Structure 1
Amino acid sequence: MTGSEETPSFRLAYVPGVTPAKWVRIWNERRPGIPLALLQVPADEASGLLRAGDADAGLLRLPVDRTFFSAIPLYSETTVVVVPKDHVITAAEEVTVADLADEVLFHPLDDVFDWDAPPGEPAFERPATTEDAVELVAAGVGLLVVPQSLARLYHRRDLTYRPLTDGPESIVALSWPEEATTDLVDDFIGIVRGRTVNSTRGRQAPATSKPGQAAQEKAGRAQKPAAGAKATPGARTARARAAGAKSAKPAKRGKPRRRS
């Protein structure tokens, strides 16, 4: 290796709330010689990072530009509404969009949901980030609808959340530039899809019999007729003769006649 050559690595970007630890662990077990670099980026910067080639693939939320990116949906996130702990909504185990009709809901600029506006009354301003919106919820001036992963990420002791049963859905996907599907990207695709080591590319052919083993087995089958097979006419005749010779009794000899 010359001094100008670099050790290959795999750069994986991910947006807030996504936890890639499970897949990273499997990667390190299967590809110990190729380090995996994690890059946490704001949701609105993830696509630009991949376009610029500063990451090989990313774990982000749909939608993405499918004219440029390939994407494999991985899982759907639970949608929740974040509220102060003393809010009346906490009396219910889950809520619907109709329950929010009279509430002020924040719509941050980095909102992950693909909707024009949240239900309820619009807030006096759009917070720059989801984290800023959470701070405003803590101030008691409105509520916020987010994926549960973000509610946990920005958790505060004075806040809680309830599942929103009919709210918008957020889907986490593995995405990468379609024209940059490298071998390392393909390896990571196999990991997130749950392929085992033996199911990856380069699968070995089934083991064959040892030299001479097939000939010996063939000879053994020739000596012993298969179950249910009929014997040939010659074989039946030979067995019948053998059986007759074995079971035949010697003939009795009569007394000699007297001559007159």
Structure 2
Amino acid sequence: MRIWSERYPEVPLDLLAVEPAEAPEVLRDGAADAGIVRLPVDRAVFSAIPLYTELTVVVVPKDHVVTAADEVTLADLADDVLFHPLDDVLDWERPPGRPAFERPATTADAVELVAAGVGLLVVPQSLARLHHRKDLTYRTVTDAPQSAVALSWPEDATTDLVDDFIGVVRGRTVNSTRGRGPSPAEAQQKTADRKAGDKKPPAKKAAAGKSATGKSATGKSAAGRSGGRKPAGRSGGTGGASKGGAGRGKPRRRS
């Protein structure tokens, strides 16, 4: 959101939290332009860009025996009651552990039952964090199915803004050749900066001119001093010799 607000301050970005099972319907109805969803999606209706695959964890009470390890396997949970809520996003061929007497309606309901000490729950890590409680913790399950997360939007609703949002999610830079160019606000700012620059005096050119003039004057002055010394030296030497020669002439004989 920070990058979006910096690049497109004139277009607010609103987040809408929905249940995973409701996300496709929200996108289809146009209540949201794009969404972070769990795969798979109906590719005949939606475009999707896979983003990452989540770790799968088991949610347990803090005093449960599995907390002694950093990671567990499904075999380690075989003797525990494992809840399989109706909104489960993991694709199980066969749910592990002992089945619960009744399937909870939602993941949130299942977490409440785990806190009551009735059983355990296997979910993607983000859901364990979403429903975090102080009396619960979780451990990674190394051999459980995993959930893939993607950016998705209706295929027939790929607008310029949606394309811009895709670029932000993918890490596309402002200067990327695939971008649409600067936003209206950026273009206006660049125009204002250019006009402001045209009004400034050519300070660098004036300074360069002064520097050149100074060097030229210094060069002439040095040449003048150099030229003046040489003639003066020759003139002084000749004049001295001339004066010295006149002073040492023979005296005239008296008549």
TM-score (norm 2): 0.68
Structure 2, unaligned stretches of length 5 or more?
183-255
**2:68 pairs with one of 91, 108, 115:** 91
**1:130 pairs with one of 73, 84, 107:** 107
Alignment of structure 1 residues 156-195 onto 2, 5 Å:
156-195=133-172
**1:201 pairs with one of 179, 185, 188:** 179
CA distance in structure 1 between the aligned counterparts of 2:174 and 2:129, rounded to whole angstroms: 33
User: How far 1:202 sits from its partner (Å)?
Assistant: 4.7
Partner of 2:37: 60
Partner of 2:80: 103
Alignment of structure 1 residues 1-260 onto 2, 5 Å:
24-199=1-176, 200-202=178-180
CA distance in structure 2 between the aligned counterparts of 1:156 and 1:36, rounded to whole angstroms: 30
SS in 2 for 1:64: coil
Deviations 1:17-54 (A, max 9, x none): xxxxxxx1111111111111111111111111111111
SS in 2 for 1:198: coil
More helix, by proportion? 2
CA distance in structure 2 between the aligned counterparts of 1:61 and 1:72, rounded to whole angstroms: 11
Deviations 1:65-95 (A, max 9, x none): 1111110011111110001111111111110
SS in 1 for 2:22: helix
Partner of 2:216: none
Amino acid at match of 1:25: R
SS in 2 for 1:39: coil
**Aligned pair in 2 of structure 1 residues 202, 161: CA closer, same or farther (>3 Å)?**
closer
Structure 1, unaligned stretches of length 5 or more?
1-23, 205-260
User: How far 1:203 sits from its partner (Å)?
Assistant: 6.1
CA distance in structure 1 between the aligned counterparts of 2:179 and 2:171, rounded to whole angstroms: 14
- Following TM superposition, where does structure 1 have runs of at least 4 consecutive aligned residues deviating by more than 3 angstroms? none
Structure of larger gyration radius:
2
CA distance in structure 2 between the aligned counterparts of 1:115 and 1:94, rounded to whole angstroms: 20
CA distance in structure 1 between the aligned counterparts of 2:126 and 2:180, rounded to whole angstroms: 37
Amino acid at match of 2:120: L
CA distance in structure 2 between the aligned counterparts of 1:31 and 1:202, rounded to whole angstroms: 12
CA distance in structure 2 between the aligned counterparts of 1:78 and 1:122, rounded to whole angstroms: 23
RMSD: 1.4
Amino acid at match of 1:129: T
Amino acid at match of 2:119: G
TM-score (norm 1): 0.67
Partner of 2:252: none
